[in-house]
Amino acid sequence: MKELRIFSLTTWLFINLLLLLESSSCTADSSVVNPCCYYPCQNSGVCVRFDTDRYECDCTRTGFYGDNCTIPEFGTRIRLMLKPGPGVVHWILTHFKWFWDMVNSSFLRDTIMRLVLTVRSELISSPPTYNSKYGYLNWESYYNLSYYTRLLPPVPEDCPLPMGTKGKPVLPDPKVLAERFFKRKKFRPDPQGTNLMFAFMAQHFTHQFFKTNREVQGGFTKALGHGVDASNIYGDNLQRQLQLRLHKDGKLKYQLVNGEMYPPTVSEVPVHMVYPESLAPEQRLVIGHEIFGLLPGLTLYATIWLREHNRICDILKVEHPTWDDEQLFQTARLIIIGEIISIIIEEYVQQLSGYHLNLKFDPSLLFKERFQYSNRIALEFCQLYHWHPLMPDSFLIDGDDLPYSQFIYNTSLLMHYGVEKLVDAFSRQPAGQIGGGKNFHEVVLKVAEMVVRESRATRVRPFNEYRKKFNLKPYTSFYEFTDDLEMARGLEELYGDIDALEFYPGILLEKTRLNAIFGESMVEMGAPFSLKGLLGNPICSPEYWKPSTFGGETGFNIVKTATLKKLVCLNTKWCPYVSFHVPRNEEEAKQKKQSTEL
């Protein structure tokens, strides 16, 4: 009996010793932090983990060396000494108008424009590097086009905290973030004079390549193309395109209402469109993008591009009477793509930048540069482009003040007012300021919540890590990040550390530049993605950029001389005020005079 008790006691002690050792082992393992969670590698160095607690930074071709790629090489040191910071460059480009007026009328314009394009584009990885599944280079990231690419790898899965090693163990509720920091209290118009014509172009233009697949988590896209392909006009697959085409003279299908051309209805072209069941069939217009019946501003642009495509087909048929329907259609599409890129660079980006330098669309500026004519849409680009603060409190059209309830899915507004009055109204009404926070209308507030959730699901790195990637100085506190003391205190309370601030809140809540539409980060991060995507289009390559691609000099000239005003006024009965900027007194008077003459 005594031996049995001794055996039981020994067994009990042995079992507890094993449990203690196992517990100690687990505790030891859990205390080991993946060193890459500290983001030790600077200046685009790549963190490679060895063993459990050892890492190396690959500094190849970064211009830096040392354990963490922090020591500049001699050439890099000289370049950093001579190179002005982004803030200085922006200040120079937005001041000294007398100087830029001289530059714009001289050979220096081409030289500076080439510099702007190359410096911006070099910040974007090409070919693509990472995606939401892989934080290291591999063939799948390059080959699988169903993923958005990404500029920085995701936060490692085994980090102790959601954003790496800093901040709080639980990120703030997206709904709380939206209500406290994104929701509009009073409409704040953009001080740069941006209008609703710009706001609807932003949405219409970007939805040809921003098509997140929300049925699958992990940064997937439903778009077949990763750039400007006009799929928002022609459909994103061949079957939809063929249904939208008239199959005669290269044209797209249309309906005539009071002698004017509009998109056809679903009864005429039975393709998938997203409309509420309560909407009458005759109001369900068919457009290249399935959700563009949502807002009359999107339907407006779809109508204008439909008319422009068919107008170009008429011009091409006169010049090329032997061409069949297919060649007329395909060539017209290339011309449309060229017009889109031209208008976006020379007017849309020009409006955003606020530069006195007149931006120029001339692909030949890059023909002697090392430039890759390809593009992949990045997850970060998709997320930063949610510019819903542009939307107003209501819509002012021809003396009527329409709330969202009378605007959303109301395609009848297009026929009721006509293209001319809608363009005029949207060109005159100010859009909201994007940056600075607290300017989302409550109708679109859920978008901010959605983006934050998607960002977390794809483990997007902290805002300051992207500041460093784009050669911007990381913020040291929330009080440096924003001029709004209440917002700074609130963000500090919720995140705990500025280095734990998430990417999208950082981009949208950052203090704006003086009298600007948004802050420094949006400009310095968004511009490289935009310009690389636009100039990386095949039509901008030496092989494509020539008259024969566009059916001869006539088609080529349509591309090279495209403007927003020509796009509208060549496809309307009378020429309204049309611009991406609210009316300036002289400009409005000039356009009124031209409209009268027309």
The residues assigned a catalytic role are 207, 385
**Number of helices (H), then strands (E), in the chain:** 24, 8
Residue 477 sits at φ, ψ, to 5 deg, of -160, 165
Nearest C-alpha neighbor of 536 from the set 345, 274, 281:
345
Residue 375's Cβ-count burial label (10 Å; 0-12, 13-18, 19+) is buried
Residue 443, both tokens: 């109708």
Which are the contacts of 42, defined by CB distance < 8 A and separation ≥ 6?
A: 57, 64, 68, 69, 70, 468
Please, what is the angle between helix 196-206 and helix 412-428, to 10°?
A: 120
Beta strand spans in 133-268 (E): 255-257, 260-262
Cα 484 to the chain's mean position, in Å?
A: 26
Q: Could you write out the DSSP letters of every residue in 331-380?
A: HHHHHHHHHHHHHIIIIIIHHHH--SS-----GGGGTTS--------BHH
Asked if 575 and 565 count as a contact pair (C-beta separation under 8 A), the reply is yes
Residue 586's Cβ-count burial label (10 Å; 0-12, 13-18, 19+) is exposed
* 3-state class (DSSP) for residue 265: strand
Cα dihedral angle (189, 190, 191, 194), rounded to 10 degrees? Answer: -120
List Cα–Cα distances, 544 to 345, 370, 414, 540, in angstroms: 19, 17, 36, 6
Residue 19's Cβ-count burial label (10 Å; 0-12, 13-18, 19+) is exposed
- Give 399's DSSP letter: T
Q: How far is it, in rounded angstroms, from Cα 423 to Cα 397?
A: 9
Residue 91, both tokens: 């200040």
H or E element: which one contains 242?
helix 238-244
List Cα–Cα distances, 196 to 154, 395, 398, in angstroms: 35, 9, 14
Asked if 137 and 129 count as a contact pair (C-beta separation under 8 A), the reply is yes
Cβ–Cβ contacts within 10 Å for residue 441, how many?
A: 18
In degrees, rounded to 5, the angle at the alpha carbon of residue 385 between the alpha carbons of residues 383 and 389 is 115
List Cα–Cα distances, 344 to 201, 300, 337, 348, 380, in angstroms: 9, 17, 11, 5, 20
- The label of the residue with tokens 């997140």 reads 212
Nearest C-alpha neighbor of 533 from the set 201, 125, 237:
125
Residue 157, both tokens: 């899965």
